[in-house]
Amino acid sequence: MLAAMCGRIVQELPMAALTELFGPLEGLAAVEPRYNVAPTQLVAVVRAEGTARTLARLRWGLIPQGARDPAIGAKLINARAETLSERPAYREPFARRRCVVPASGFYEWRTRGQRKTPLYFHRADRRPLALAALWEPWPGGPAPATFTIVTCPPNALLRQIHDRMPALLHPDGLRAWLDPAADPTRLRELLVPYEGELEQRPVGRAVNDVQNDGPDCVREEIEREVQGELF
């Protein structure tokens, strides 16, 4: 079985780039650059609140209302687009509490023999990606809300790496996804393999350790082949 997707992202997001994509944002005045964001951590997320759009830090890993153990959030970091209306944990958030995770890019690991090479995926023009997500209030308390990233089948670029990819929204789909009254049929049409311009590049092993969170994580590392193995 392949590992979860999406499980690691980058948020190096100037506010000017975010407001260009989302329009005016309330809440956070800036997003701290992060290069190795992992599940259970706090992540900058865009939500609709009335007529406004807010930027806030939510915890990655959705904890459903009524959950007996908050640790379940570590298992609910991704939600399959095909079953959002069927899974009890996602049915209500899909209907009423959708959000977007802005990201500079995301990581996935390519396996060749015994070696796993981390790859960084991002837009060719370096503009932010908009990852479809769902959120829930923290059960019974004021702690940060939690969220899960929606995944869909892979596009041509990801197909050789993984059988899933994050559901990436085009700018014209953001309004519908963030609209609490949007038609579910229209929303499902948004959750398809992304056909925009994505690029990938191999990066160093620093990203393998979640304690590493600096620009070295996204620095390109050229693979070289020695006696049939990639190093």
The answer to whether 122 touches 199, Cβ cutoff 8 Å, is yes
Residue identified by tokens 């930027």 is 55
The answer to whether 203 touches 214, Cβ cutoff 8 Å, is no
Label residues 175-191 b or e (16+ Cβ within 10 Å = b): ebbbeeebeeeebeebb
Residue 35's closest CA among 181, 174, 219, 189?
219
Is 221 annotated as catalytic?
Answer: no
What distance lies between CA 191 and its chain's CA centroid? 13
Residue 164 CA: distances (Å) to CA of 4, 31, 88: 8, 27, 21
Q: Of residues 6, 99, 152, 217, which has the active-site annotation? A: 6
Is 32 annotated as catalytic?
Answer: no
Task: Give ∠ CA 144-149-154 in degrees, rounded to 5.
Answer: 170
Residue identified by tokens 């050789």 is 160
Residue 132 CA: distances (Å) to CA of 140, 188, 191, 217: 25, 11, 8, 24
Residue 65's closest CA among 39, 42, 91?
91
Q: Of residues 12, 99, 108, 136, which has the active-site annotation? A: 108
The separation between the first and the last C-alpha atoms of the chain, rounded to the nearest angstrom, is 25
Active site residues: 6, 108
